[in-house]
Structure 1
């Protein structure tokens, strides 16, 4: 698909649903990730970045995030139960400068307009989060997890 068709599809999704989800698949030596574009503009909450999950789950989590928090305050650094029925999550703030190699669609969409990103932090398959020594999963953390409120 050429760039023009690609961005036309993205903008159509944003017009129709209020946001688009972009996901990149895992490759050898590369952690998969996904992110939203359009949420900040249309729902007044930060865009969402997710590292280490597959595209379908990224899309589901971004959809649940929009439905739960649109036009509301999003809790930062707090354990969130019930975003999905799979596992609890945290949201951490990100500096857009840390995302320039990841969120190219958002960079093009927002151009010089302000926007913000959060990263969704999830546990490994045994329920451990990245701040716990037992944690064992391929999730690239792009923000500061030292402020997470722990149980």
Structure 2
């Protein structure tokens, strides 16, 4: 194992997961943050958050972990509060193709199939990416990773 891989395993052992944030230094592609280890430690899907700052994404992943540890169960396409202050969020499955493209640390860690979900959030005015009123820039900021194509 290299140093990065050792750090992933150490964080999973100490905190139930490792959190990875990825950003495009040119600002063209959206930021994304995801967990590795939650399937192993807590038996739940890994989480990816696309389109938010690394700091906020990290906080959301930790909030998800803490809520799961407290016994909360999350179901795709249901709405939940308290991830983003003042806004509901929902979840959707991440396709195998997108797991391989976006969740590289998780792919390395599991070496086999694992489940992952995407946290989906609305604009500050309550528009969801699939709404007819959603702008193209908002849809690009938060692309669907379900494998069904565009919103």
Same fold (TM over 0.5): yes
The alignment yields a C-alpha RMSD, in angstroms, of 1.9
- 8 A contact 2:93–2:145 mirrored in 1: no
C-alpha displacement of 1:4: 1.1
More helix by share: 2
Please give the TM-score of this superposition, normalised by the length of structure 1. Answer: 0.84
Take 2:58 and 2:86, find their aligned partners in 1: how far apart are those partners?
A: 14
- Tell me whether 1:140 sits opposite 2:139 in the alignment: no
User: Who is 1:148 aligned against?
Assistant: none
- Tell me whether 1:98 sits opposite 2:98 in the alignment: yes
Unaligned runs of 5+ in 2: none
Q: Which moves more between the two structures, 115-124 or 63-72? A: 63-72
C-alpha displacement of 1:32: 1.1
Counterparts of 1:1-150 in structure 2, within 5 Å, are 4-26=2-24, 27-70=26-69, 72-112=72-112, 114-136=113-135, 137=138, 138-143=141-146
Unaligned runs of 5+ in 1: 146-151
More strand by share: 2
Change (3 A) 1:62 1:86: farther
Take 2:73 and 2:124, find their aligned partners in 1: how far apart are those partners?
A: 29
